[in-house]
Amino acid sequence: MLDFQPNSDALSGKTILVTGAGDGIGKEAALQFARYGANVILLGRTIAKLEATYDLCEKQSNAELAIVPLDLEGATVKHYQDMASTIENQFGKLDGLLHNASLLGQLQPFGQIPEAEFRQVMQVNLNGQFFMTQALLPVLKKAPNASVVFTSSSVGVKGRAYWGTYAISKFATEGMMQCLADEYSNSTMRFNCINPGGTRTGMRAKAFPAENPESLKTPTDIMPAYLYLMADASIGVTGETLNCQPK
């Protein structure tokens, strides 16, 4: 799956929602999904960035595109329910959901993590995707083989000093994916995680400011795993974490 080469129409007829579609990995995933034939819903908090992704997808695909401006930090259950109704009215079903948006927060000693920062990162990285998934389940069930992909991290399977809040949110993400995969194991819906590994984005530069970005894979390099999990090639794969850059 790390060298998955889809047919050019692999995602044709599918509608996929990407969170954090304005930058980094989410922007590239939205573009690739559109190029391979999906209709793509671009969700994020910075409208100008979403518009730039929209323009890129429009130039490079025939996809039907939609923008959902939403800050996961302030989003309520009602926002997610309204979004689910809008998606159902416009597209009829949701075939794919990529939970990609996340905050890194500050890397700092556990004892010094401020309450506000812990709550903010958990709200975006955990609560947002929990309530969004809950609201979208009915419209995901309308698709014949819906695929929900969460974004994990190496610190989501092994804790690391000073990465407290972010790492805890990623462990919870892995847990949410596993609970859903087990609960829906007799359905056609599948739930998996991707661990992108160190990838050349703004978040990585913030975490490792002294690192040479040229030494890292780009978002484009890691797209085969994203395309695999959204394409019918991965039907039946559930409860897995795909590591895009195994050592």
Instruction: Please list the active-site residues.
Output: 166
Q: Report if residue 164 touches ligand NDP, rule: CB under 6 A.
A: no
**What's the closest the beta carbon of residue 84 comes to ligand NDP, in angstroms?**
17
Q: Report if residue 190 touches ligand NDP, rule: CB under 6 A.
A: no
d(CA 160, CA 168): 10
User: Where does 142-233 have alpha helices with state H?
Assistant: 164-183, 202-207, 223-230
* Nearest in space to 67 (alpha carbons), one of 19, 13, 126, 11: 19
Write each residue from 57 to 76 as x if it is in contact with ligand NDP (CB under 6 A), else as -, in one continuous string: --------------xxx---
**Residue selected from 15, 32, 61, 102 as contacting ligand NDP according to rule CB under 6 A:** 102
Helix/strand/coil percentages in the chain, nearest 5: 45, 15, 40
90 contacts: CB under 8 Å, gap ≥ 6 = 66
Q: Helix crossing, 24-35 with 47-60: angle to 10°?
A: 30
Cβ closest to ligand NDP, residue 6 vs residue 26 = 26
Instruction: Judge whether 153 and 243 are in contact, CB under 8 Å.
Output: no
**Residue selected from 15, 16, 26, 133 as contacting ligand NDP according to rule CB under 6 A:** 26
Q: Report if residue 196 touches ligand NDP, rule: CB under 6 A.
A: yes
**Residue selected from 91, 204, 222, 229 as contacting ligand NDP according to rule CB under 6 A:** 204
Q: Using CB under 6 A, which of the segments 3-11, 80-88, 97-105, 224-232 binds ligand NDP?
A: 97-105
Cβ closest to ligand NDP, residue 67 vs residue 145 = 67
**Both tokens assigned to 34:** 């559109």
Q: Report if residue 133 touches ligand NDP, rule: CB under 6 A.
A: no
CA 217 to chain centre: 18
Q: Report if residue 124 touches ligand NDP, rule: CB under 6 A.
A: yes
d(CA 25, CA 17): 14
Q: Using CB under 6 A, which of the segments 7-15, 85-93, 202-210, 235-243 binds ligand NDP?
A: 202-210
Q: Which stretches of the chain bind ligand NDP, using CB under 6 A?
A: 20, 22-26, 44-46, 49, 71-73, 100-103, 124, 151, 153, 196, 198-199, 201-204
